[in-house]
Chain A
Amino acid sequence: AQKITQTQPGMFVQEKEAVTLDCTYDTSDPSYGLFWYKQPSSGEMIFLIYQGSYDQQNATEGRYSLNFQKARKSANLVISASQLGDSAMYFCAMREEKSSASKIIFGSGTRLSIRP
């Protein structure tokens, strides 16, 4: 069965520092996608970054990068130069990418707090 694990319930980071949020996953499917979402206190879900299982290079989107280590089944999110507005819940998610099925599972999340 598929599984996503986020082992850091909460993190405190000083503004302008880089931060790594951990995510490990488990699947037997060869084709899958990995996502990170941000949920600020206002409640909306904001897509940050996507990595396909066959992508050779790590995904990057502005200050966000995904450190994809396929053999270790990890997909850590790296935020460079953190800002106060980065304080939020962060969720890692995995999606089946079969032609006939596409379940999505989420981790339990990491609450990131940025200190000024």
Chain B
Amino acid sequence: EAQVTQNPRYLITVTGKKLTVTCSQNMNHEYMSWYRQDPGLGLRQIYYSMNVEVTDKGDVPEGYKVSRKEKRNFPLILESPSPNQTSLYFCASSLWGPGRTVTQYFGPGTRLTVL
């Protein structure tokens, strides 16, 4: 089954404790992206990757890191989480390139609370 998986689905942590949220897709998609969703603000893109070893900032990259060492995985790293990073996080993937279908497939979301 074609899917995007995220782990963990729920996480409560404390300020300053490094954490990683994993994202994996099994569709051989070039494009992967992380978003955060906050009430009234819609989804905001944190980072995206157009292929292996190619990453770029979205609109709200501060406080986050990503890496794309393999095509299927795109982990989101919070080196020193703060309470303002409490949010619902989505990973998504799609094909990328001229003339290709660009439908984004979303993971189920990770609800992060930073105390």
Contact = CB atoms under 8 A, between A and B. Distances in A.
Contacts of B88: 43
A43 B48 CA distance: 21
Contact of A108 (B40, B45, B103): B40
A36 B43 CA distance: 12
Given A43-B109, A102-B31, A103-B56, 14 more contacts: A44-B109, A45-B90, A45-B92, A47-B103, A47-B105, A102-B50, A102-B96, A103-B45, A104-B58, A104-B104, A105-B44, A106-B44, A108-B40, A109-B42
Nearest to B43: A106
A91 B104 CA distance: 13
Interface of B: 31, 33, 35, 40-45, 48, 50, 56, 58-59, 88, 90, 92, 96, 102-106, 108-109
Nearest to B56: A101
Given A50-B102, A50-B103, A107 B92 contact: no
Contacts of A93: 43
B53 to A, nearest CB: 14
A24 to B, nearest CB: 14
B4 to A, nearest CB: 10
Interface in A32-54: 33, 35, 43-45, 47, 50
Chain A to chain B: the 8 pairs with minimum beta-carbon distance, closest first: A45-B106, A106-B42, A106-B43, A108-B42, A47-B103, A109-B42, A104-B45, A107-B42
A106 B108 CA distance: 18
Nearest to B106: A45
Interface in A52-94: 91, 93
Contacts of B35: 106
Contacts of A109: 42
Contact of B45 (A33, A35, A105): A105
Nearest to B92: A45
